[in-house]
Structure 1
Amino acid sequence: MWWLGVLAAGVGAALPGLTGRRIGLYAGAALFLVTAAAVGAARRKRYAALVKAAAKAGRNDLLQDRAVSARVWRRGHGWWLLLAFLAAVGSSLVLPAAGGMTLAGAGAGLWLKAAWLGRRERAAEVLLWVRVDWLRRGGAPAGKAVRGYRFTGVAAGDASPGGARRRRTAVPV
């Protein structure tokens, strides 16, 4: 969402619009901040409850990282992202760059939420996972079908806290 928003804002800034570029950019900056804060704070209690209800992953649990869940969601909702991009570019005819900056603010808010979850993982020294069978029913990493996350230690898998790839270090011989 971030890059689509930045691209839409760039296209919108090139258009003069009905209200003028200066008003569009100021309105877009305000909408960026409001949207980033709203998206970053949305459903934070739900995520905290899922983290609190996390149980140790069992041997037979099929686990899926939140980053993978988000990628699957993004692929399934690609048309909505395309429509949001087109709406942001189209809104630039009235208020230049504001729609694109709003879309970029939504992407920044999602990044803030992911960073918040990563800090919680680092503080608890665990990796949080979503069971795949719960995702098939609800589809969202914090949806109604997800009753709690599973956790493993930080040495499990190939991810580090926050969902980033774990760096492999050479072992001295």
Structure 2
Amino acid sequence: MAVVVRAGAAPMWWLGVFAAGIGVLVPGITGRRIGVMAGAALFIVATAVVAYWRRRRYTDLARSAARASKHDVLQDRAVSARNWRRGHRWWLLLAFLAVLGSAFAVPAAGGMLLAGCGAGLRLKAAWLGRRERAEDALLWVRVDWLAANGGRPAGKAVKAYRSTGIAAGDAAPGGARRRTAALV
């Protein structure tokens, strides 16, 4: 489940950083200094808002997590991330174009806002990872509920999470890739 939260973090972060870098090159209506200062404030606010948004819903769903049965379909980490990115690629492209266009008014602010959203998602995935480690269980969303929700792991169609042991699957707590030690 944290994999789906984390899937949007990297594209938003890098598209935001790239757009902010391009936005600094444009003088804009307000000027570069005001644009960068406004962008820094937007980055901080967006990071905090996205990191704390719907935490109660995540906590309630995690608290009511049922043990995954053999009939539950759970996806690999790579498949979940790829499906989320494919399903949201047009939204990411539109967001990137919007923040590039906003650079003509307020340089770099839109890009920093988008990067802040990516940073907030990464912080939320880290929070979920700490929660998974504390409970010693990975949290999963059933594939059919995730698809019915448009890729949102805490949307209305998600009734409860499924849990497995910490060693299940190919994802570590927090949605990171599981590191396997090389046999020497």
Shorter-chain TM-score bucket reads: over 0.9
Return the TM-score normalized by structure 1.
Answer: 0.92
Q: Is the 8 A contact 1:2 1:105 kept in 2?
A: yes
The one-letter amino acid of 1:168's match is T
Corresponding residue for residue 70 of structure 2: 59
Structure 1 residue 156 corresponds to structure 2 residue 147 = no
Structure 2 unmatched ranges of 5 or more: 1-11
Give the Cα–Cα distance (whole angstroms) in 2 for the partners of residues 151 and 132 of structure 1: 14
Question: Matches of 2:61 and 2:131 in 1, distance apart?
Answer: 12
Amino acid at match of 1:78: R
**Within-5 A mapping of 1:16-165:** 16-64=27-75, 68-139=79-150, 140-165=152-177
Indicate conservation of the 8 Å contact 2:77/2:171, yes or no.
no
Q: Deviations over 1:113-164 (max 9, x none)?
A: 1111011001111111111121232232111111111111112222221122
1:102 aligned partner, one-letter code: L
Partners in 2 of 1:72 and 1:131 — Cα distance?
14
TM-score scaled by length of structure 2: 0.87
Report the secondary structure of 1:77's partner residue: helix
Deviations 1:84-125 (A, max 9, x none): 111101111111100100010111111111111011001111
How many matched pairs? Answer: 172
Relative distance call for 1:67 and 1:136 in structure 2 (3 A) is same
Gap runs ≥5 in structure 1 = none
C-alpha distance in 2 between matches for 1:110 and 1:66: 16
Distance apart, 1:67 and its partner CA: 7.1
Please, what is the CA RMSD of the aligned residues?
1.7
Q: Which has the larger radius of gyration?
A: 1
Going from structure 1 to structure 2, the CA distance change for 1:96 and 1:39 (only over 3 Å counts) comes to: same
Query: What is the alpha-carbon distance in structure 2 between the residues aligned to residue 72 and residue 37 of structure 1?
Result: 26
Q: Sequence identity of aligned pairs in percent?
A: 69
1:26-48 CA distance string (max 9 Å, x none): 00000000111111111111111
- Given that 2:77 and 2:177 are in contact with CA atoms closer than 8 Å, whether structure 1 keeps it comes out as no
Match of residue 166, structure 1, among 165, 170, 178: 178
- Letter paired with 1:49: D
